[in-house]
Amino acid sequence: MQETVTINKKAERSINHAFASHFAKSMFLSVLGLAILTFIGTRMFTHIDLNLYGYMVGTIVFLGGFFYRFIAWGERPPTKIIIKKGIKLLFRKSTPKTATTHLVTYKFIWNRGIYRWAQHVLMGGGCMLACLVTFPLVFSWMYFTMDDNGYYTVVLLGMNLINIPANGILAQLSYNALNISAIMVIAGVSMALYRRLKNMQARAEQKFIYDFLPLYLLLLISITGLMLTFMNVFLHGWGQPVMSLIHQYSVIVTLIYLPFGKLAHIPFRPMSVFAKNYREHYGEASMKECKVCGEGFVSTEQAGDVMDVLSVNQMNFKKEDGFHLAELCLPCRRKYRIAQFSGIPTHEIKVKEANQNAKG
């Protein structure tokens, strides 16, 4: 038994030594997995739609960049805790409701106003619909064939999934799925641009490359996509080759940029379910009482995790008074820091947040 354990440890060390770091190993395995999925999806590269070849290359670069950023983010000590404990709590009874609220209905944005909620629903829903249609087609996981009887056959991973009439409602929705997503995105982006240009606070905080450029890229993709349909239906294909290239390049540039810009929060959004479950589960178990005002402000587990992460990063917030700053609620923490710099007694400092009854 001991010899088996020793052999396994040696094998693990030899694998790890083949890479510069754990991050490099994770990145290699992610790219390898992506290549295998592409190999399977295209049936050993025998079923590739050359019209979609540019999109496939752009998507592979996007997924590689996304995995790169996700793994780099996941290697951080706080993220490791959320991911590790979030996976354990994934099967909570409240998970379906939380996932629906955070990923479908965007109820958490509703509290900020109906306008911003509608803006996020249109942009987020349009982008998700476009991805659900485009990615399977690009990697040939799904495609359509048509028989002489006027029926389309939907083929999924080489298996005939369903037959639908070419003139039926389902077929029409399939044809126009990307057009519908484009209209949703254009409406959402227009609302976002209007708010950012008219709202003085938003204007003061916006930067062109980080805040406006992603919106303009989404707008360019959506408009050129609709132009392709317009040229095909009303102009009998006139100008379509040029517009097709413009649309394809705009999609590829956006896909390459997406993992490293503001739009990266779209694929990262599912992690909010982990964070919500983490706060709810450990909050129900026990709450950490503030050392000053005595009110529970965070779960005991989270307070301990914060102190552990700070120690790992060699950030010492242990005070001479015998407590850690992470053991204070936010208002009391601010009072304490102000008192340290000003010399004013903590209980005489007024803050706008709750827990203003601190007596320390």
Predicted local distance difference test score (pLDDT) of residue 13: 57
Nearest to 280 by CA among 80, 121, 86, 126: 86
- Work out the average pLDDT over 32-49: 76
- Kindly report, residue by residue over 98-111, the tens digit of the pLDDT: 888 888 888 888 88
Structure-model confidence comparison of residues 263 and 222, the more confident one:
222
Distance separating alpha carbons of residues 146 and 218, to the nearest angstrom: 32
What's the pLDDT band for 14 if we cut at 50, 70, 90?
A: low
Name the strand (E) or helix (H) holding 155.
Answer: strand 151-156
- Work out the average pLDDT over 155-166: 78
Distance separating alpha carbons of residues 159 and 271, to the nearest angstrom: 32
Distance separating alpha carbons of residues 37 and 357, to the nearest angstrom: 58
Q: Apex CA 27: angle with CA 262 and CA 50, to 5°?
A: 75
Distance separating alpha carbons of residues 36 and 169, to the nearest angstrom: 35
pLDDT of 67 > 80? The answer is yes
- Work out the average pLDDT over 133-144: 81
Distance separating alpha carbons of residues 239 and 54, to the nearest angstrom: 19
pLDDT of 199 > 80? The answer is no
pLDDT of 3 > 70? The answer is no
pLDDT of 182 > 90? The answer is yes
Predicted local distance difference test score (pLDDT) of residue 358: 40
What 36-40 contacts at long range (C-beta under 8 Å, 24+ apart), as own/partner pairs, is 37/139, 38/139, 40/157
Strand residues in 262-324 grouped as ranges (E) = 287-289, 296-299
What's the pLDDT band for 2 if we cut at 50, 70, 90?
A: low
Question: What backbone torsions phi and psi does residue 296 show, to the nearest 5 degrees?
Answer: -70, 130
Distance separating alpha carbons of residues 176 and 181, to the nearest angstrom: 9
Predicted local distance difference test score (pLDDT) of residue 354: 45
Q: Apex CA 271: angle with CA 270 and CA 274, to 5°?
A: 115
Q: Where are the domains of the chain?
A: 22-140+173-273, 287-348
- Work out the average pLDDT over 246-266: 86
**Whole-structure pTM value:** 0.74
> Does domain 22-140+173-273 fall into CATH 1.20.950?
yes
- Kindly report, residue by residue over 210-245, the tens digit of the pLDDT: 888 889 999 999 999 999 989 988 888 888 889 988
Distance separating alpha carbons of residues 254 and 242, to the nearest angstrom: 19
pLDDT of 60 > 50? The answer is yes
3-class secondary-structure state, position 160: strand
